[in-house]
Amino acid sequence: MAKGKKSIFFCQNCGHEEAKWLGQCPACGEWNTFVEEKTDSGITRGTTAGSRAVRESVREAKVVPLTEVTADDETRCKTGIHELDRVLGGGIVPGSLVLVGGDPGIGKSTLLLQVCRVLAETKKVLYISGEESQAQIKLRANRMGDFTSNLYLLCETNLDIIRGVIEKERPQLVIIDSIQTMYSDDVASAPGSVSQVRESTNIFLQLAKGLCIPIFIVGHVTKEGTVAGPRVLEHMVDTVLYFEGDRHASYRILRAVKNRFGSTNEIGVFEMRQEGLAEVENPSEYMLSGRPENASGSVVACSIEGTRPILIEIQALVCQSNFGMPRRTAAGTDYNRVNLLMAVLEKRLGMALGNADAYVNIAGGIRMNEPAIDLGIVMAIVSSFRNRPIDEKTIVFGEVGLSGEVRAVNMPEQRVAEAKKLGFKTCILPEVSLKMVKGIRGIRLIGVKNIGDAVKEI
């Protein structure tokens, strides 16, 4: 068959293909996401040489029993950055493809350059940039300290050249910054398009698995906070990491939303400094710094991220509304969950919140959606509504049901131990969780069955 060019329309959100343009994607339901791409309309099929090559490949392919495959955590490579190792599941797995996404200026390139600095002491590292020149990378590297000669730079966007360099140099770690700048001459579309991003990722996937080289890819994000390009990009890689946090603030949170080699619940906390990203070993103490004294509407709750308990300050401001429609705002937690908890307070405790504005905020800008912070949100709203401050040495946690009951949460002993370590004297928790924390001394434990009991205690 003769080769030719024809138009295919791709959905930029999910990668769905159609022969013509559509206003709404039938796969994901998004509007105005189809873009036109030029593709090859035909390929040569059924040739004798091609069939012979396939038969040859089948003869060379070997199947191996699962019981004979050896794999352990010792094969992981430590990055020297403990917070990053925690999110990756213990270190970098050889041959893995890792996607790092985040807002512009959040610290993606800075973090990866710090990884290069540590690993270049013992390994050969190749940093490929399609956005910065070698001089610009050098200026950023000077702020971090001295680098060894094992770190090599390549400023290139052509995938054929990049593949040749990787196969020739055989580095032990490759950084791609960023995937949206890479292009292949075989794809007749602009860099950053759906076809180019998908083709580029596929090439790096083949290099990572074929040469057993871990590759980190930097990906830009859209205004919705997802990686730009089709969602198939996230399905192709082994691990997807997202940087969260306000780029104007000093903290950064690295979260794994996909990880084939570890948990997706772990987070890493960093602080942006002049010399780069510094690890925050005790995020609870960092999140609680600057707490107000004797202020109503402020309470400390505990959330679990993976295996790590993190204490957070929940703030609430409740006041009478000057408009017919009360305003409700939630920052750092689910808006609908706040409305649900306020409805529970109205129904079960008789609190007149129907004509009140309510503003709920998790201090520090961190986002938490774990049900265990329900009781903290309830206590903060009650404290602000009645204008009665809660003892600053008291911590609360527990899930609240629609009947006003306080339900059990997982890992209560780790939460109480973290609170005790930071000097808290009283802990209000679900009564059904008391038997799991009886062995912890030095902190007063108060078990509650419902939100009415919790309100009486404060």
Backbone angles phi, psi at 120, to 5 degrees: -70, -10
The CATH class for the domain spanning 76-281 reads alpha beta
Is 447 annotated as ligand-binding? Answer: no
pLDDT tens, residue by residue, 403-456: 999 999 999 999 999 999 999 999 999 999 998 998 888 999 999 999 999 999
- Residue 310 CA, chain-centre distance (Å), reads 16
Q: DSSP characters for 278-346?
A: EE-S-HHHHHTTTPPSS-TTEEEEEEEETTEEEEEEEEEEEEE-SSSS--EEEESS-HHHHHHHHHHHH
pTM of the shown model = 0.76
Is 106 annotated as ligand-binding? Answer: yes
pLDDT tens, residue by residue, 281-291: 888 888 888 88
Is 109 annotated as ligand-binding? Answer: yes
Residues 6+ apart with CB under 8 A from 354: 326, 346
Is 297 annotated as ligand-binding? Answer: no
Please state the domain extents for the chain.
5-60, 76-281, 292-457
pLDDT tens, residue by residue, 383-406: 999 999 999 999 999 999 999 999
Please tell me whether residue 253 adopts helix, strand or coil conformation. strand
What whole-number distance in Å separates Cα of residue 182 and Cα of residue 159?
6
Is 149 annotated as ligand-binding? Answer: no
Average pLDDT over residues 209-237: 77
Say if CB 196 and CB 38 are below 8 A apart: no
- CA torsion through residues 85, 225, 233, 133, sign: negative
45: pLDDT confidence band, cut at 50, 70 and 90? Answer: very low
Is 104 annotated as ligand-binding? Answer: yes
DSSP 8-state symbol, 245: S
Let me know if domain 292-457 sits in CATH 3.30.230.10.
Answer: yes
Say if CB 420 and CB 445 are below 8 A apart: no
Is 314 annotated as ligand-binding? Answer: no
Say if CB 311 and CB 299 are below 8 A apart: no
